[in-house]
Amino acid sequence: MDDLREIEAVLEAVLFAAGDSVPLEKLSEIIGQDKKTTAGILSGMELKYKNSNRGIMLRQLGSNYQLCTKPEYEEYIAYLGTGRKKQGLSQAAYEVLAIIAYHQPVTKAYVEQVRGVNSDNVIATLLEKNLICEIGRQEGPGRPKLYGTTEEFLRVFGFSSLNDLPKLSMNEIQVVMNDVPVD
């Protein structure tokens, strides 16, 4: 496959049919190109969608890609009655999510140390909403679970990767950390 338009059409068809995100590695395999070339083609497609008057966009979610509707058309999609439900998070959930996002991987004990309160229910809610997941176990006594954010977290908050998280000043970090020493 050498024609750029044909490659873009194949990628568009595959991403549309997949519905969910597809890893760059799989897309490269499908079109018979290396990952760097495929990423470049996808980047060009992302710009084309962004600069065109269309209802869809191409989103990068870490090393995965997905076709999505543009947020400005959400009210029209709601008429279908099939749109994604809003995540509806409490202030406590945002706090826990921020701690996990900025300091992952973290244990529940670490989250509770930072917040100063039990976080069982909040963590359970974030797991249920697929915004965080267990990403392993910490070495040591009891081998506590380690938590990190998910691809759904990136999607919901509009990030391509964790590098897109807003940068925090030292004062903001101390507020988020509740005066817990930063490692």
pTM above the 0.75 mark? Answer: no
Q: What percent of the chain has pLDDT over 70?
A: 87
Q: Which domain does 113 fall in, by range?
A: 91-177
Predicted pLDDT at 181: 37
What is the SS3 assignment for 65? strand
Q: Is residue 42 included in any domain, yes or no?
A: yes
Does 39 score more than 60 pLDDT? yes
**Domain end position, chosen among 58, 80, 102:** 80
- Indicate the angle between helix axes 108-115 and 120-128, nearest 10 degrees: 120
Predicted pLDDT at 167: 85
Phi, psi for 63 (deg, rounded to 5): -105, 15
Same-domain check for residues 20 and 75: yes
- For 147, the token pair is 């938590």
Same-domain check for residues 173 and 138: yes
pLDDT in tens, 142-162: 899 999 999 889 888 888 888
DSSP state of 19: -
Length of the chain: 183
Give the CATH number of the domain where residue 166 resides. 1.10.10.10
Predicted pLDDT at 76: 86
Same-domain check for residues 65 and 114: no
CB atoms within 10 A of CB 43: 13
Same-domain check for residues 59 and 137: no
Phi, psi for 163 (deg, rounded to 5): -65, -20
Q: Which of 8-12, 67-71, 110-114, 166-170 has the lowest mean pLDDT?
A: 166-170
Same-domain check for residues 24 and 52: yes
